[in-house]
Amino acid sequence: MTGCAVSVGVFDGVHRGHQEIIRLLAGQAARRSIPSVVLTFDPHPRPEAIAQEGGLLLSPDERGALLRALGVQWVVVLRFTESIKTMPAERFFHEVLLARLGARVVIVGPTHHFGYGGTGEATLLRRLGAAAGVDVVIAPETASNGLTISSRRIRSYLAAGRVVEAADGLGRPYRLDGTVVRGSGIGRELGFPTANLEAASGRIIPGDGVYGCVAHLDEGRFPAVVNIGFAPTIRGLRPKQRRVEVHLIDHDAVLYSRSIGISFFVRIREERRFVGAEDLRQQIAEDVGRIRTLTNAGADQSFGNTAGNNDPFPFR
């Protein structure tokens, strides 16, 4: 590939800060009549830190799809091997960005680091670019409520169950995809059948609690109540087994073994232990009623403007 506009980074989440970088990338590419390229990495360069923070916001495939949806013409995934990990910053610039991609302009975020040990930063990138005749553009910070938007901050919001703040940073509700596996059947006995979601490996799961969500199925999108946690009221379940249980409101599709996605709009309460099954059933009925009311009303502010998305409860 010769002559392109390149942005480099993991782009986990493709959040609003990333979207600003892509906007600049598209502008630079159009101005020069050259293709736009995002160079990203798999696996994540910081696997231990990501595991401590709960997991990734997106799978590599999801990341690529979102980047292409924003207009990126080429998404290049570079395997983060030991040779890439230990490559000095100057060598990375010359061998990867110049020799392999033919970069004519490079756009990165304000905190971007590259090369072994993250020693390459904006000052070095500008110096290398000037010597090679490559323009370097450093995107400005993107902030929300006075705080810089970052993948790490969004992961911290999700871990705390703060899905509204996470959606504001992402520019859309957080979505978790997975496969439905067999559960205990207790939900159906209580009158509220649930699907047990086995999330895609390595993805962050929001903190324990009960959420108002959208379930994405092949046949459409449906309101749902999702419980995340250890089901403390139900005896006989494997101990310390964290579960993601999905109840579709007013829709009784057979979900076992199917792939579904869950978009998180609001956390309505914490998970807690009830005296018995009847108390639990009554609480679930209240949860369903609350989400049904919000759905019929066209979405409470918690689902719409505050979350920074333009598609609140989009299934009527």
Average pLDDT over residues 31-59: 96
**Domain assignments of the chain as residue spans, ordered by start:** 4-144, 175-307
Cα–Cα distance measured from residue 39 to residue 23, given in angstroms and rounded to the nearest whole number: 15
pLDDT tops 80 at residue 295: no
Cα–Cα distance measured from residue 110 to residue 21, given in angstroms and rounded to the nearest whole number: 10
Residue type, 26: A
When pLDDT is cut at 50, 70 and 90, the band that residue 235 belongs to is: low
Cα–Cα distance measured from residue 231 to residue 271, given in angstroms and rounded to the nearest whole number: 8
**CATH architecture for residues 175-307:** Beta Barrel (2.40)
Contact in structure between 178 and 198 (CB atoms under 8 Å)? yes
Cα–Cα distance measured from residue 154 to residue 169, given in angstroms and rounded to the nearest whole number: 7
pLDDT tops 60 at residue 303: no
Measure the N-to-C terminal CA separation of the chain; round to a whole number of Å: 46
pLDDT tops 50 at residue 150: yes
pLDDT tops 90 at residue 253: no
Cα–Cα distance measured from residue 168 to residue 149, given in angstroms and rounded to the nearest whole number: 9
Q: Tell me the average pLDDT of the chain.
A: 87
Instruction: Count the Cβ atoms, other than its own, within 10 Å of residue 236.
Output: 7
> 126-130, 152-156, 248-252: which range is least confident on average?
248-252
**CATH architecture for residues 4-144:** 3-Layer(aba) Sandwich (3.40)
Residue type, 163: V
When pLDDT is cut at 50, 70 and 90, the band that residue 315 belongs to is: very low
Contact in structure between 35 and 72 (CB atoms under 8 Å)? no
